Amino acid sequence: MTEIDTNTAMSSALAMRQANETTGQATLNSDFQTFLEMLTVQATNQDPLNPMESSEYASQLASFSSVEQQVKTNDLLGALGEQLGASTLSQLSSWVGMEARSIAPVTFDGTPQTLHPLLATQADEAYLVVYDENGNEVQRLQVDLGAESVEWAGVDDTGAPFADGAYRFEIENFANGESLGTSPVESYQRVEEAQMLDGQVVLILEGGQPIFSSDVVAIRD
């Protein structure tokens, strides 16, 4: 199993979305300019003895106005989005120093971690599966179905501690011996920094792990 680098995946997704938005806006602006040039040429070269019908001219002017309005609206929405993003960043900067709960990988430094598994309601058996930063499964532990949290000591079956680094967790659920699939595991990690990245607020967690602010489900001191 291959672990996807969070920084690379986030940057790629944002870059793709920005490219699509830029291409769409460029196409609209190009269409608007082409329409304007065609209308100008048509008005300049029309036969004075057989001029364009006023109704047809009015229709083309209406189309011109519609395209122009769409361009201006897109520009306005873009500017508004930037203002809202800056406002959101200012508000979420108060999260720096607090602990955010999300499904982001945990940065392990030898300290036991408190995890919050989201178990399937139909499960009669569940296992915590631990993956290292390379995507390799390094541990599988049965969990108590009634527990709201799980303490992960960060040691293997012999009691030796795992290496420092980023670890990802998931729950594998079973019912009557049949797999119900996996479900996520949440944890609290301290927010070190808040950044604006292409209109999205990104929180940098301890250890350098980035997450979108929209992925946070709870915050605490």
Condensed to tens digits (0 to 9), the pLDDT of residues 159-188 reads 999 999 999 999 999 999 999 999 999 999
CA angle in degrees (0–180, nearest 5) for 31-37-38? 90
In this prediction, residue 195 has a pLDDT band, given cuts at 50, 70 and 90, of confident
- The residue whose two tokens read 């009691």 is 159
Q: Compute the mean pLDDT over every residue in the chain, rounded to the nearest whole number.
A: 77
Mean pLDDT score, 58-85: 54
Q: Which pLDDT value is given to residue 187?
A: 96
Give the pTM.
0.61
Q: Which pLDDT value is given to residue 190?
A: 95
Q: Which pLDDT value is given to residue 199?
A: 76
In this prediction, residue 143 has a pLDDT band, given cuts at 50, 70 and 90, of very high
More confident residue, 213 or 161: 161
In this prediction, residue 63 has a pLDDT band, given cuts at 50, 70 and 90, of low
Which pairing describes strands 200-205 and 125-131: parallel, antiparallel, or unpaired?
unpaired
Mean pLDDT score, 72-100: 65
Q: Is residue 105 pLDDT above 50, yes or no?
A: yes
User: Residue ranges of the alpha helices (H) in the chain?
Assistant: 6-45, 54-92
Q: Is residue 51 pLDDT above 70, yes or no?
A: no
Q: Which pLDDT value is given to residue 41?
A: 67
Mean pLDDT score, 180-203: 90
In this prediction, residue 26 has a pLDDT band, given cuts at 50, 70 and 90, of low
Amino acid at 170: E
The span from the first CA to the last CA of the chain, in angstroms, equals 35
More confident residue, 89 or 71: 89
> How far apart are alpha carbons 170 and 184 in whole angstroms?
5
Task: Of 34-43, 179-188, 196-205, give the range with the top mean pLDDT.
Answer: 179-188
Q: Which pLDDT value is given to residue 90?
A: 74
